[in-house]
Structures are given as structure tokens and as C-alpha cells.
Structure 1
Amino acid sequence: MNRTYSSPLRVEQARATRRRILDAARAQFIDGGWTATTVKLIAAAAAVAPATVYAVFGTKRAVLSALIDEAMASALPDPEHPEAWPDIAGHPDQRQRVRRLVTLLSVSLPRVEPFERVVREGARADEEIAGLARDLLEWRRATAVRVVDVLAGQDGLRPDLSREEAADLVFALAGPEVHHLLVQIRGWSPQQFDAHLADLLGRLIPDLLA
């Protein structure tokens, strides 16, 4: 009689293998980009066979997608689940909500930015990655809307600014590529970048300086 069973050791080994592949792939993608990173290179860096990478993830795109999912999950609460934002959304002081959102964004942007660069490079040559790029932009836009809603709360936005316009400003001016340009390229300090975010969010709400 055949028995199906789950060995805790086997499950743990599979989890450790998956983790090793993802860690190796992260370094390969960030250093080499989409085109130069191959499944063979990922496998060698993870000390597994290429067949193992395919068995665990299926495709190179799936490996990158898993890394992006991890980065987004560790960076910001899911914009589709507002209950994940209570510590910020529940604060009665709008100025404090600005400060807390700045802290959240300044931690999250460096985590997501390297993968956005990989996706932008890959999208030019690979239609599958172009689809991933569109998904990533949709997630960013949804997050921008959620940031604006949390920021506005019961106090609202500037009278001359709509919710859509405010979300567009956050989407465009508080995104990972802006962090890369200002911090990595122009050499801004984290404090300077945080001041930029605080200024941006402060301009969206009424009477910040009152």
C-alpha cells in the first residue's frame, strides 16, 4: 500500500532551496539586469542545478516576479487591504500622518527601486516582462491612491486639488526612480530625500504651516 506523507525535513529543505535561489537571483538581477541574468547563472550562484530552478519557479520571469512580490510585501502594506494601514490612518493629527508616511516611503522605495530598473530594462526586449512592468505600475498607482487617502483622512486635501491629481503627484514624484535619481545619482542624503517627501505630502493638504 502506497502512503503519501509530508516530511517536515523535506519541506524545510525545499524552503531553504527556494530561499537560496531567490537570494542568488536578487544579486544577479541587480548586478547584471534582466538580459545578462540567465537561469544557468542563478543556478550556479545558488549551488543548484538549472533544472532545480525550473522545477521550483518554472521560468526566469517567475523568479523575478517572486522577488518583486517579496520586495513589495516587505515595503508597503497592500493597497488593496486598507486595514493594514491603521497605525497611520488612525492618527488624528494630519501633520503626524505626513511624518509617518514619509518614514514608510523612505524605507520602502530603496527596496522596490532596483527591481523596477530590472523590469524597465527587460520590458524593452521581452513582452512578458513588459506585462510585469505594467503590473508594477498599477500596484504603484494603487499605493499612491492609498497614501493620499490615508493622508487626507477626515481633514481632506487642499481645496484646489482632487484625489486623482494628488495621487498622480505621489505616483510621479515619490516613486522609486526619483529616489534613485536623487540619492544614488545626485548623492542626496536620506535626510534630504525625507525632506523632499515631507514637502511633497505637505503641499497636498490644507494649512500645514498654520
Structure 2
Amino acid sequence: MSGEVKPRRYHSPRRAAQAAETRSAVLAAARELLAERGWAATTVAEIARRACVSVDTMYAAVGRKPAVLRALVEAALSGTDEPVPGERRDYVRRVLAEPSARRKLRLYAEGVGALQQRLAPIFVALRDAAATDQDCAALWREIAERRRANMLRFAADLRATGELRTDLSDDHVADVVWSMNAAEYWVLLVHERGWTPARFVEHLADTWTRTLLTAR
């Protein structure tokens, strides 16, 4: 043995808490600015200014602008400042535990309604950013692929209840749900047509039930 003494790793709970607070402040500021102005008109300097930190501190806490957008997307999906895998989200667990396809669709519609209230503005910003930024374009494709895979798993879960129409493939079921749980669909009906979130949820549950399930 060489006898070399390795430096001890220093961990400060106070410093970790301050870093978490800074990260939350940056994400909150970015979320507000993107909702107000969109991707192109929101600058790093403005995000840092609203968060009351320096640009360097913002970079250290979250990263550059594409990294901030990724963090916002993941936070909106999970409902926290940190990513949470889809299968561990509360509403997904409730859906998976429910034996009835009709109840699964109702619970999922309610989950989508709650999700889109925080996700839709961020997802629209991501769509716009993807047109000009390679990192954001890659994130857009990644999220789209994840959504597609999740919907195929959801279709299989519905199929296992024995209540899905037998003339519809899992691919078809996944595409129908995928298209209607999109942020763009929420924006069209809630932001542009003035629907309430409750009406939107009812529409999803009713349409999915009528379209995808066998008649009782």
C-alpha cells in the first residue's frame, strides 16, 4: 500500500439546501418568463435577474438555456423539481391499480388535466425551441418517444381488462390516447376555446370510453 491519504469528501447540508433553493428559484423564474414571452424572447440574463442570482450561479445550479428547459419539462411531468419515472407518479400508480378500463381512463384523464396545467406552456416553448436548437430538438424527440412507449404500455394495460374493442390494435389505441393527451390539444381547447380544465377532463374520459371500449 502506498500510504496515500485520499481527501475526504465534504458534504454540507446547508450548502445542499442553498443549492436546492437556487435551483428552484431559477426554474420558477424560467417557467414564468417562458409562459409570458416564449422561448425566443426569454434570455439567460432575464432568467437570472428574475431569480435574483448571477448568470454564473444559474449555470452552476441548472445549466444553460436548453438544460433549464429540460429541467422544466421534467419538473412539469413529475410535479416536483426533480425527475420522477412515469411508473412512480401517483396518478399512474392509481391507474395501474384500477381493475376497470373505464375507471382507468377516467383516472388517466384526470391525471392529464392536472399535468397539462403545468406542462402545456413549457411544452409549447420546447416545441418552438426545437425548431432552432439542436439540444431542444433532441429533447423533443426523446419526450415524444417516451410518450409513445408509455401509451403502448397503457394500451396493453387496458387490453388486460378485457374491455377494449377487439377490432382496435394496441397501436391504434395508443395513437388515439397519445394525440389527445398532447399539450397542443389542451392549448386548442382550454387556452383558445376557453374550456375549463374540468370540461377538458370530462371530454377526454367520455371520448376515450366511447371510442376505445366495448359497449356494456
TM class by shorter-chain length? Answer: 0.7 to 0.9
Tell me if structure 2 keeps the 8 A contact 1:79–1:146: no
CA distance in 1, matches of 2:160, 2:151: 14
Equivalent residue letter for 2:69: L
User: Size of the alignment, in residue pairs?
Assistant: 208
Q: Is contact 2:70–2:139 with CA below 8 Å preserved after alignment?
A: yes
Counterpart-to-counterpart distance in 2, 1:83 and 1:118: 26
The one-letter amino acid paired with 1:197 is L
1:81-96 matched pairs, under 5 angstroms: 85-96=92-103
Could you report, residue by residue, the CA deviation over 1:137-160 in whole angstroms, capped at 9, with x for unpaired residues? Answer: 122222322332333333142111
Residue of 51, 62, 65 corresponding to 1:46: 51
Query: Is the aligned partner of 1:110 residue 2:104?
Result: no
1:168 match: 175
Displacement of 1:192 after TM fit? 2.3
- Alpha-carbon distance in structure 2 between the residues aligned to 1:127 and 1:3: 39
Q: CA deviation at 1:81?
A: 6.4
For the pair 1:35 / 2:43, whether they are aligned, the reply is: no
Please state how far the C-alpha of 1:66 moved relative to its aligned partner.
0.7
Q: Which amino acid aligns with 1:37?
A: T
Conserved? CA contact 2:101–2:163, under 8 Å: no
1:131 is aligned to 2:138: yes
**Contact residue 129 and residue 137 of structure 2 kept, 8 A:** yes
1:191 equivalent in alignment to 2:198: yes
Residues 1:149 and 2:124 aligned together: no
Q: Is the 8 A contact 1:79 1:142 kept in 2?
A: no
Whole-Å Cα distance in 2 between the matches of residues 51 and 82 of structure 1? 33
TM-score, normalised by the number of residues in structure 2: 0.85
Does 2:142 correspond to 1:140?
A: no
Q: Bigger shift: 77-86 or 152-161?
A: 77-86
Is the counterpart of residue 204 in structure 1 residue 212 in structure 2?
Answer: yes
Shift of 1:59: 1.4
CA distance in structure 2 between the aligned counterparts of 1:16 and 1:83, rounded to whole angstroms: 24
Which 10-residue stretch deviates more, 133-142 or 178-187?
Answer: 133-142
> Which 5+ residue runs of structure 2 have no aligned equivalent?
none
Query: 2 CA distance for matches of 1:187 and 1:83?
Result: 28
User: What whole-Å deviation, never above 9, does each CA across 1:105-127 have from its counterpart, x for those lacking one?
Assistant: 21112222111110111112222
Match of 1:187, SS state, is coil
**How far, CA to CA, are the matches of 1:205 and 1:79 in structure 2?**
24
Displacement after TM superposition at 1:83 (Å): 10
Local SS of the residue matching 2:38: helix
Question: TM-score normalized by structure 1?
Answer: 0.88
Identity %: 36
RMSD between aligned residues? 2.6
Of 9, 16, 22 in structure 1, the residue corresponding to residue 27 of structure 2 is: 22
Native 8 Å contact 2:164 2:212 kept in 1: yes
Distance 1:18 1:77, change over 3 A: closer
Q: Are the equivalent residues in 2 in contact too, given 1:158–1:206 (CA < 8 A)? A: yes
